[in-house]
């Protein structure tokens, strides 16, 4: 059991992939010049893949996710979901943010019901769906609370339930657990893994934790320093392992070392880039 290099730029099955990113680049213009966040970037994600993106900070991970979510438009290149070009945000792609994206003026129940309500379901049906999802993430007892009354870990669970409420086939998550403490993070990783296994959703997950990537992902992309492009990509076996102690295995440690080595060089370069403006 080991991570194996794999080319994730082209579709791996005959059919169109769930997500196809073609020659995607993004530059941000400012008065002091423009910053190229993403180099022409190709990526193909098949339905049911759990893809983790790791890379030094500032390499364009969030930019990539924002473009796939439809929040930002690319400078060049295009993004296709199920073969259709992405032109803006849509209910077919659920997004989970790091923190601060819950609606504090709505109860937990209404936060989760917001998606179904916005996509045409009646209040009572939307709330019923929301209640089922709150049960899934173990928060049904808190349905009438407001987000700010919950701990950080619970808030992230609400965010996940909310993103699932429209039953999107794809989930986009930008370092969703980065602000949580170690214990809560491990618990939630376990939960997201079981949700993914049960629902077979396609997940694009950004993280700066190599361990998290190895635990959750079926595929891992290591990005270069800015402008972000693929440095290496792997298929990873650990997420499908039934061994609860897989993280303490020799293979896991070896895989961690491999990715760490790749990242370290890029992180150094990213740091130098910040020092020389």
Partner 1 sequence: MTAATHKLAELDDVTVQHILGRRDRRLTFLTFAAILGVWTAVTGSGLWEPLIRPMFLPSPVAVAETFWQLLQTGYQGRSLAHHVAVSLYRFATAFLICILVGVPVGLLMGTSRRIRAVVEPPIQAIRPIPKLALLPLFLIWFGIGNLSKIIVIAAPVFPLIAISSMQAVRSVSAKKIQAAQSLGASRFTIFRRILLPASLPGIFTGIRVSISIGVTMLVGAELTATSDGIAWMALTAAEYLMTNVVLVAVLIMALLGYGLDRLFLLIETSIVHWTGKD
Ligand X SMILES: Nc1ncnc2c1ncn2[C@@H]1O[C@H](COP(=O)(O)OP(=O)(O)O)[C@@H](O)[C@H]1O
> Please, which residue, 93 or 129, has the CB nearer to ligand X?
93
Which of 145, 159, 142, 53 lies closest to 99 in space, CA to CA?
A: 159
Site string for Mg ion, 58-87 (x = CB under 5 A): ----x-------------------------
Does 150 bind partner 1 (CB under 8 A)? Our answer is: yes
Interface residue with ligand X among 41, 45, 60, 212 (CB under 6 A) is 60
Site string for ligand X, 16-55 (x = CB under 6 A): ------------x-x----x-x-----------------x
Torsion of CA 139, 144, 146, 151, to 10 degrees: -30
Q: How many CB atoms lie within 10 A of CB 192?
A: 25
Q: Which does 118 bind (CB under 5 to 8 A by kind): ligand X, Mg ion, partner 1, none?
A: partner 1
Closest distance to ligand X from the beta carbon of 19 (Å): 17
Phi/psi-derived region of residue 186, left when phi > 0, alpha when psi is between -120 and 50, beta in every other case = alpha
Give the 3-state secondary structure of residue 5. Answer: strand
Q: How many CB atoms lie within 10 A of CB 199?
A: 14
Find the radius of gyration of the CA atoms of the chain. 19
Rounded Cα distance between 180 and 169, Å, is 26
Closest distance to partner 1 from the beta carbon of 165 (Å): 8
> Please, which residue, 39 or 69, has the CB nearer to partner 1?
69
Does 207 bind Mg ion (CB under 5 A)? Our answer is: no
Does 254 bind partner 1 (CB under 8 A)? Our answer is: no
Interface residue with partner 1 among 15, 34, 73, 104 (CB under 8 A) is 104
Neighbour-count burial of 90, counting CB atoms closer than 10 A to its CB (0-12 exposed, 13-18 middle, 19+ buried):
middle
Does 184 bind partner 1 (CB under 8 A)? Our answer is: yes
Which of 100, 101, 99 lies closest to 89 in space, CA to CA?
A: 101
Q: How many CB atoms lie within 10 A of CB 246?
A: 17
> Please, which residue, 40 or 138, has the CB nearer to partner 1?
138
Contacts to Mg ion by CB under 5 A? 62
Contacts to ligand X by CB under 6 A? 28, 30, 35, 37, 55, 57-63, 226
């Amino acid at each position: 059991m080991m991570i194996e290099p794999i080319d994730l730029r082209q579709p791996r099955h005959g059919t169109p992939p769930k997500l196809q990113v073609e020659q995607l680049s993004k530059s941000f213009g400012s008065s002091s010049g423009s910053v190229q966040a993403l180099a022409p970037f190709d990526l193909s994600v098949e339905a049911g893949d759990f893809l983790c993106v790791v890379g030094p900070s500032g390499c364009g991970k969030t930019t990539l996710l924002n473009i796939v979510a439809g929040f930002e438009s690319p400078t060049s290149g295009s993004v296709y979901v199920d073969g259709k070009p992405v032109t803006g945000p849509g209910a077919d792609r659920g997004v989970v943010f790091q923190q601060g994206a819950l609606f504090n003026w709505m109860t937990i129940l209404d936060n989760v019901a917001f998606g179904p309500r916005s996509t045409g379901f009646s209040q009572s049906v939307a709330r019923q769906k929301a209640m089922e999802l709150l049960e899934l993430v173990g928060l049904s007892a808190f349905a009438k609370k407001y987000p700010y009354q919950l701990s950080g870990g619970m808030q992230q669970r609400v965010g996940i339930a909310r993103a699932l409420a429209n039953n999107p086939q794809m989930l986009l998550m930008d370092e969703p657990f980065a602000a949580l403490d170690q214990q809560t993070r491990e618990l939630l990783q376990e939960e997201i893994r079981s949700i993914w296994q049960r629902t077979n959703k396609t997940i694009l997950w950004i993280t700066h934790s190599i361990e998290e990537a190895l635990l959750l992902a079926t595929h891992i992309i290591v990005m270069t320093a800015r402008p972000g492009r693929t440095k290496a990509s792997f298929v990873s076996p650990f997420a499908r392992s039934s061994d609860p102690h897989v993280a303490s295995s020799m293979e896991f440690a070896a895989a961690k070392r491999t990715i760490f080595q790749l990242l370290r060089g890029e992180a150094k370069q990213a740091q130098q880039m910040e020092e020389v403006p």
